Amino acid sequence: MTIQGTNKENTQSLANNRIEKSKWQDWRWQMRHCVRDVGSFERLLGIKLEQTERDAFHQTVSRFPMSITPYYLSLIDKDNLVNDPIFMQSFPNHQELIIHQSDMADPLHEDKDSPAPCVTHRYPDRVLLLVSNTCAMYCRHCTRKRRVGDLDSIPDKDTISQGIDYIRRTPQIRDVLLSGGDPFLLSDDYLDWILTELRAIKHVEVIRIGTRTPVVLPQRITDDLVTMLKKHHPLWINTHFNHPKELTKSSCRALAKLADGGIPLGNQSVLLAGVNDCPRIMRVLVQKLVANRVRPYYLYQCDLSEGLGHFRTPVGKGIEILESLIGHTSGFCVPTYVIDAPGGGGKIPVMPNYLISWSTNKVVLRNYEGVITTYREPDSYEQAFCDRNCASCDLQLNLDSANEQELLGVEMLLSDSDETISLIPQGNERYERRN
């Protein structure tokens, strides 16, 4: 690779010299001018890739297309291209074509857990509503590569209405997460219609939106958008910052607009080899996030989607990062480290173990410093038998708002009202012999 000019000069040419400021701040202009080919990428950054690099690029984008907003492209440090976290998240890598034995097109079984168009229903009281297959940028680590890129589209009202109808006739659903693609790639009016339809459903208490536009397209967070969103409280937004470098002045302004609109903000990072698999980088990231009123929510282990093998780290790296955060920074800076279980098992927290041992009257614990201590169990605790007959219980449960559901999993094993003593995996040979 050869370099032409300086990164500063090329960035300025992108944002200032060749482009009117009004256009640069127009999110629709940004979308129309997304970089989708290697020639434009080279020209705008002032670089020249080797022929082998160009050949690898063309092979990769034939399966996993590229799209980078001019804004996000301007953040790339071309003087250290191979180690730049922006470049690694946005530019195709030939390693994406290496499909490992454990890789799956749909590792989370979102399609199999779809009872209606646009809906994934995995957890008892909440659903995922996929309202768009379109993104501002194609993240190279995307778990939904199967549906984003080649299949860029926005479902029509009839299709989304079928998903909303499922939510309407399923009263246990109290929480709806809009995702995609990116919901903020919809027009204000279309998104307003979806939110209005959902808000009209009495049992829907909370609506969440997952978006990466504050990271890759902060221009999308307009005053008009925020004004529209404020009509639909309680509304939560989760975004997706993976590296401190992504928290620019523009992205921070976008976050401030959302926070000033009374919208609680969370962040979901993905642990990516070569990008953020460093305790110091992650500590800076989470501290910058909370300084911008964004609560670190999840740190995801990279999924088993096809073409992500080069991004995956050992689980032990995530534990190491958590050890560097817990006790070393504010508690609300610490995300929950999770593995989204292959096969649709949902998010499983994987955290450092601070409980060393326990007896009938003491538990032995360790803190972040390695100090080992004990906590004495109460001497006078009276075990209450729970038969799930809440009407006869002395504890004051508001039965009108309580959502009594069938006991599941470990909750069932711990319950006094259920006689189940074990959970038996399907196909257990010993139990099959009994039958």
| Residues annotated as part of the active site | 122-123, 126, 135, 139, 142, 144, 303, 340, 347
| Cβ 60 vs Cβ 93: under 8 Å | yes
| Cβ 133 vs Cβ 181: under 8 Å | yes
Angle in degrees, CA 417, 422, 426, rounded to 5: 125
Angle in degrees, CA 312, 276, 12, rounded to 5: 125
Instruction: Report the amino acid identity of residue 306.
Output: E
265-271 and 346-349 strand pairing: unpaired
| Cβ 390 vs Cβ 400: under 8 Å | no
Contacts of 368 (CB under 8 A, 6+ apart): 323, 326, 327, 328
Secondary structure of residue 269 in the 3-state scheme: strand
Distance (Å, whole) CA 376 – CA 364: 9
Closest alpha carbon to 311 in 277, 341, 273, 339: 273
